[in-house]
Amino acid sequence: MKTVRLYDTTLRDGTQAEGITFSSADKLLIARKLDEFGIHYIEGGWPGSNPKDIEFFRQVKALRLRRSRVAAFGSTRRAGTRVARDQNVIRLLEAGTEVVTVFGKSWMLHVRDVLRTTPEENVRMIRDTVAYLKGKGKELIYDAEHFFDGFEDDPDYAMRTLLAAEEAGADTIVLCDTNGGTLPLRLGEIVDEVRRRVRAPIGIHSHNDAGMGVANAVIAVRHGAVHVQGTINGYGERCGNANLIGIIPNLVLKMGIPCVDRPRLARLTELSRYVDEIANMAPDTRAPYVGASAFAHKGGVHADAVCKNPRGYEHVPPEAVGNARRVLVSELSGRASVFMKARDLRLSLRREDPALPAVLAVVKRLESEGYEFEAAEGSFKLLVEKALERHSPFFDLEGFRVSVEKRRDGTLISEATIKVKVGGRFEHTAAEGDGPVNALDNALRKALTPFYPSIEEVQLADYKVRVLNARAGTAAKVRVLVESADEEARWGTVGVSENIIEASWQALVDSVEYKLMKDRVRTRARRGKGR
Amino acid sequence: MKTVRLYDTTLRDGTQAEGITFSSADKLLIARKLDEFGIHYIEGGWPGSNPKDIEFFRQVKALRLRRSRVAAFGSTRRAGTRVARDQNVIRLLEAGTEVVTVFGKSWMLHVRDVLRTTPEENVRMIRDTVAYLKGKGKELIYDAEHFFDGFEDDPDYAMRTLLAAEEAGADTIVLCDTNGGTLPLRLGEIVDEVRRRVRAPIGIHSHNDAGMGVANAVIAVRHGAVHVQGTINGYGERCGNANLIGIIPNLVLKMGIPCVDRPRLARLTELSRYVDEIANMAPDTRAPYVGASAFAHKGGVHADAVCKNPRGYEHVPPEAVGNARRVLVSELSGRASVFMKARDLRLSLRREDPALPAVLAVVKRLESEGYEFEAAEGSFKLLVEKALERHSPFFDLEGFRVSVEKRRDGTLISEATIKVKVGGRFEHTAAEGDGPVNALDNALRKALTPFYPSIEEVQLADYKVRVLNARAGTAAKVRVLVESADEEARWGTVGVSENIIEASWQALVDSVEYKLMKDRVRTRARRGKGR
């Protein structure tokens, strides 16, 4: 069976993305994860451009990666220098990797305007650098930068640069769509053209500027490429590199190319989210295969049909990529979707449960008032517990007051006072904040922490406001969604009111109650085990 | 030259996305924008499934769209019913649109398991429904749902369903990759196969589950499709529909298909962000063509090279799609875009105006703080007037105080007090409201109306809140957009702060100031004419 080698450049090209920087420690964590997953090559950095990358190459050796080979990246020697004395080439060798990836120019425009050298010298630079590094025993991957643009401008010259690398011994020749603007059918034609002339294995390095990053990689493979470069989650300059998280399941599940085995493919979603977490990027909920919405189904009838025959609505089984089906409890909720939602959340509710109609009635009433439980599983769980009369509140509110004052000089003061009762004891306190909701949040936590210290573990990770009937102007109803997290879980809660303070209050209270309910369940489970 | 017709389903299929709901007013705003941009068809809703969509179809007629035709969407008649008595078909006609889009089943699996009818009856359902609606004089677009999956399972049957629609008179036959799992080369082959048998114009409706939404649309066009369905920003169920914002520039700039003319293509970025704003979605900074990072270049040397020869680093000129290069030396593009915006608003500002750099500096600073002027033309005009030192405020704020109190019994009281100064006179007053912002709005109007009675004409038509840095939880910065209207105009204003009250205050003050400025200009103009 035809194989394809996966080459990850998250740690090098991925860091060209706006807003992404990795510490050395981050890079090591990602490298270990890529190795576990079974990526064949990890491009660790560009030692000639970033001297501190040398440190990464030193440390990564200690990880003793089992499946991945580490590659150092660098350019061909400079024009007019001797390759053995070229600083970039020296640094490449210092990295001490088995694999080196060398990029060279294929586009006359760059030879002339950026390198400012002659077409002949550029070809010699490629040949010399590849031959020299091959002589040092390296596996050599040659990246033909701007190849497709170069080919469109001057196909003969672009091809000459590839042949120079091939003749000098390059193990793989990678065609790069560096500006990301090539459309797929044309790209396939050009790959065919190259394969008629070049016998070395061909790779593809695509970018997403025309929205074709993944498509171009897949099409190049169809046209014979056996090496695919990309980044996790498509990080990269401008619109990003080709997204390996999208490419891999297309290759394995749709084209039958076993570049990753099935058990490891089932960790694809985990890989994607892990790297987002390290990069501090919010995961793309709509991402193909791994997004939280990728297998989410709205609507009652539809939800029912999905359960009966998932193939009718899902292009692949979500578990194949470690994702999960989600039935959204939305406007069109029926019994089936409430039941499935409850099952997803591992709530003890059966399809025939006599309490199901009561839960459904509450959900429908709240939804008609503007509540939405798609992103508020915490509130949904509480709602079910309340409808089943299994929930007793953790505190009673005696009252709160929030105020914002703006003075003549522009000073703003936001303050909240709150009084709560827990088991017969009162707590009356006050706090300031960056705004009225923040002040109320601070006051609520301050009031409850003496009774429930674990509230301090809760972080508010996200706060969203949506105006429901915008035409009512400032008297419009708003929906507030809060996402909270502690060390082990994340949960969403929701509130709706004409009054943004009240809507926020509902979501904040649910967040706290959910946390305390969750902790109680866990404590009971532990005690149960102990017996 | 070959043409392609663009068919937008943001208002119907787009709303299947998790987290996206549009009010009727939102839908009308988007329809107007799509018409201005030159989208050929706007699918407004599914009246048979959502009875309130009928209201949208009634209201959209009053907009008198110039470039777009509005389509109502619905299914074929139910199995075993007479088409003239089918509720869904009756509702489709009630929508009163020139164009109707009917979807039918092409996949045996769905005929059997979802419709639970016979293959023959399904074909009759398609034929009857298309023929009946054609008999009513409609332009009929037939959406062959799950066509590609159906074709893979049973090509003969899938083809029969298309031929039934063609024979019954469908004007366009749209091949849908409903589950979004078809890879591009296979999709091209199937389109070829269809074109050998079907002579009606072919359309494509793709989804993004395999990351191929845009690629599949573009490839179908290469294989002869002349009608492309998609949504703005790729909103849609699961991983979304094909993104028209990516497809359109590929067709126009790379394939030479003039489906949108160049001046309107230059408003693509604006269109994308406008719809995101209304949907309350954070724009994707990496989005091809329109993302804030799409033409962002890191690094000084690189930036310099980009300026010398942008073609070496950019697959298309950013201004072709209304985006801008972002490099250190970005003043040129910024200058041009501020000038263009000012021109759009008919502000008296020339390209060589010595005040332009001052305006630009203010815009840049505010944008970096989170302000956005695309939907806030009122604030933008005020900002320009202020930067040109042509604006004097209509009142001074001495201070305000807003409070929300929640009592034990659940009672909520929102109150605002305010003190303003107009021409040496003070007004100190108070008002209640449905929430703190409404109370402040009421108090501000109450305080100013004695001095400026025309303020009573202003309606607040829309109030939107967007959290900018959601990860900061309740201390996050919010942007408030207010849309106001009087009898002759509508205008948007914006405010940004960590404090929602302050952000709302800024937008409310701008709304009032804009109204008064506008009235003053009009009064002067009238006086001028009288002379």
What is the arithmetic mean of pLDDT over A342-356?
66
For residue range B280-319, list pLDDT tens digits in order.
787 898 999 999 889 987 644 455 567 678 888 899 999 9
Q: Is B63 touching A (CB cutoff 8 A)?
A: no
Query: For A114, which of B213, B305, B499 is closest by C-beta distance?
Result: B305
What is the arithmetic mean of pLDDT over A70-93?
96
pLDDT at residue A465 above 90? no
Contact (Cβ atoms closer than 8 angstroms) between residue A110 and residue A144: no
For residue range A101-138, list pLDDT tens digits in order.
999 999 999 999 889 999 999 999 999 999 999 999 99
Please indicate whether, in this complex, the C-beta atoms of B404 and A402 are within 8 angstroms of each other.
yes
For residue range B390-401, list pLDDT tens digits in order.
888 999 999 999
Contact (Cβ atoms closer than 8 angstroms) between residue B478 and residue A465: yes
- Give the per-residue pLDDT at B399: 95
pLDDT at residue A424 above 80? yes
% helix, strand, coil for chain B, step of 5: 45, 20, 35
Contact (Cβ atoms closer than 8 angstroms) between residue A297 and residue A306: yes
- Give the mean pLDDT of chain A: 89
- Give the per-residue pLDDT at B528: 55
Name the CA dihedral angle for A10, A13, A17, A21, rounded to a multiple of 10 degrees.
Answer: 60
Q: What is the SS3 assignment for B465?
A: strand
- Give the per-residue pLDDT at A330: 52
- Give the per-residue pLDDT at A338: 66
What is the arithmetic mean of pLDDT over A179-193?
97
pTM of the model: 0.75
What is the arithmetic mean of pLDDT over B103-131?
96
pLDDT at residue A155 above 70? yes
Please indicate whether, in this complex, the C-beta atoms of B464 and A470 are within 8 angstroms of each other.
yes
Which residues of chain A lie closer than 8 angstroms to B291, CB-CB? 238-239
Q: In Å, how far are B28, B106, B184 from B213, measured between CA atoms?
A: 26, 20, 9
Where are the extended beta strands (E) located within B11-138? 41-45, 69-75, 99-105
pLDDT bracket for residue A531 (50, 70, 90): very low
Which residues of chain B lie closer than 8 angstroms to A325, CB-CB? none
Contact (Cβ atoms closer than 8 angstroms) between residue B321 and residue B268: yes
Query: For A499, which of B288, B404, B501 is closest by C-beta distance?
Result: B404
Distance from CA of B346 to the nearest CA of A (A): 27
pLDDT at residue A21 above 90? no
Q: Is B188 touching A (CB cutoff 8 A)?
A: yes
In the block, residue with structure tokens 């999960």: A324
In the block, residue with structure tokens 């499709």: B225
Residue positions counted in chain A: 531
Q: What sign for the dihedral angle of Cα B1, B4, B5, B11?
A: negative
- Give the per-residue pLDDT at B298: 64
- Give the per-residue pLDDT at B328: 33
Pick from A404, A419, A462, A504 the residue to mutate for testing the B interface (most B CBs within 10 Å).
A404
What is the arithmetic mean of pLDDT over A449-465?
87
Euclidean distance between CA atoms B216 and B406, whole angstroms: 55
DSSP for B284-296, please give it: -TT-TTTSTTTTB
pLDDT bracket for residue A161 (50, 70, 90): very high
Contact (Cβ atoms closer than 8 angstroms) between residue B43 and residue B7: yes
What is the arithmetic mean of pLDDT over B337-357?
65
Where does residue B144 fall: left (phi above 0), alpha (psi -120 to 50 degrees), or beta otherwise?
A: beta
Residue A293 or residue B362, greater confidence = A293
**Amino acid identity at B90:** I
What is the arithmetic mean of pLDDT over A471-497?
82
pLDDT at residue A367 above 80? no
- Give the per-residue pLDDT at A139: 98
B58-81 per-residue burial string, b: 16 or more CB within 10 A, e: under 16? eebeeeebeebbbbbbbbbbbeee
Query: Among all residues of chain A, which has the CA nearest to that of B22?
Result: A468
Which residues of chain B lie closer than 8 angstroms to A246, CB-CB? 210-211
Tell me the ipTM for this assembly: 0.75
Residue B176 or residue A465, greater confidence = B176
Helices B119-135, B155-167: axis angle to 10 degrees equals 20
Residue in A131, A152, A141, A261 with CA at minimum distance from that of residue A205? A141
Please indicate whether, in this complex, the C-beta atoms of A211 and B291 are within 8 angstroms of each other.
no
- Give the per-residue pLDDT at A146: 97
Q: Which long-range contacts (CB under 8 A, 24 or more apart) does B334-340 make?
A: B334/B360, B334/B363, B334/B364, B335/B360, B338/B363
Q: Is A229 touching B (CB cutoff 8 A)?
A: no
pLDDT at residue B331 above 50? no
Give me the domains of chain B, ranges plus CATH numbers. 5-260 (3.20.20.70), 296-387 (no CATH), 395-451 (3.30.160.740)
Question: Exposed (0-12), middle (13-18) or buried (19+): which is B254, by Cβ within 10 Å?
Answer: middle
Percent of chain A with pLDDT over 90: 65
- Give the per-residue pLDDT at B333: 39
Residue B384 or residue B422, greater confidence = B422
pLDDT at residue B102 above 50? yes
Q: How far is CA A108 from the centre of its chain?
A: 36
Q: How many CB atoms lie within 10 A of CB B33?
A: 17
Q: Is B506 touching A (CB cutoff 8 A)?
A: no
Please indicate whether, in this complex, the C-beta atoms of A374 and B18 are within 8 angstroms of each other.
yes
Query: For B215, which of A184, A295, A308 is closest by C-beta distance?
Result: A184
- Give the per-residue pLDDT at B257: 97
Bridge-based pairing state of the strands B99-105 and B69-75: parallel
pLDDT at residue B329 above 70? no
Bridge-based pairing state of the strands A326-327 and A296-297: parallel
pLDDT bracket for residue B190 (50, 70, 90): very high
- Give the per-residue pLDDT at B531: 43
